[in-house]
Amino acid sequence: MTSRKLQSVNGISPGLFSILCEIYTSDNPQVDLGKLDTSDVPVLLRILRNTHRHYLEASIVAIHDNVHRMTQLSTPENSAVINRFFDDYENDIKSHIHFEEKVVFKYIEGLLKGERDSRFSVGMLRDMHNDAEDKLTDFKNIVMSHLPDSDTSDARYEVLVGILNIEDAIRRHTVIEERVLLPLAELLEKGRDRIESQEETGAGQDILSDREKEIVREVARGLTNKEIADKLFISVFTVTTHRKNITQKLGIKTIAGLTVYALMNGLISPEEIEQ
């Protein structure tokens, strides 16, 4: 296709450039995967790896330094607790990045070579993809609301600015992984190059992954996110992420709407709902 030939110097296709701009400028990005194909995957991996490097070598380091400066005005007890909390977060983010680099990205690179590690699937890796944001949010709230007034300093302000910046960056980074990279990796698993439009496939049900269909079924049965997480042995965060993706794909947000969708597409029978 002509559009695939319009490459910028760094290899980013027009479609991928458009989607990245949407993700980084909108609080509710609309991701049209029809603009992409699996040839965009190596570029995505490169972008995500560069982002990881920036987190580890710049963003986290700067916040860490300011945390230590901020706690110099605290009591030794408070200083120890706060520094330990941030150290734990730093270790969590390093573990999160290590998992992505050594497991998720490595698996996807194998798919690009026509090789598949039988121990994994994209669906499994999506479920294993843990949340790296919750502890950072807690730390932000502690710094904002629960430090003694005597702990106020310029360093405290710098810590908050750093946290807000990396919090936003990680959120958008996660959107790229969950809504762009992993769907394209699923195409590689299926031996397909592009996502066909619903009109071309004539199968609205195939818009959803197998895991997303499971989530829709359990929602239609009346289960809460916590109950779904327990039943499917995944985290509540993963269930929430799937439900956001389902809403994005179907344009259906309510339980009643998802129930109707499940019934119309044969994902669940009326008898199951009545139980």
What CATH architecture does domain 202-274 belong to?
A: Orthogonal Bundle (1.10)
More confident of the two residues 244 and 42: 42
pLDDT, tens digit, 9 for 90 and up, residues 114-157 = 998 888 888 888 777 666 667 788 888 888 877 766 545 788 88
Report how far residue 1's alpha carbon sits from residue 169's, in angstroms, rounded to the nearest whole number: 33
Report how far residue 238's alpha carbon sits from residue 229's, in angstroms, rounded to the nearest whole number: 8
What are the tokens at 67? 């945390």
Q: What is the pTM of this model?
A: 0.69
pLDDT, tens digit, 9 for 90 and up, residues 16-55 = 999 999 999 988 888 888 889 999 999 999 999 999 999 9
Where do the CATH 1.10.10.10 domains begin and end in the chain?
202-274
Report how far residue 44's alpha carbon sits from residue 100's, in angstroms, rounded to the nearest whole number: 13
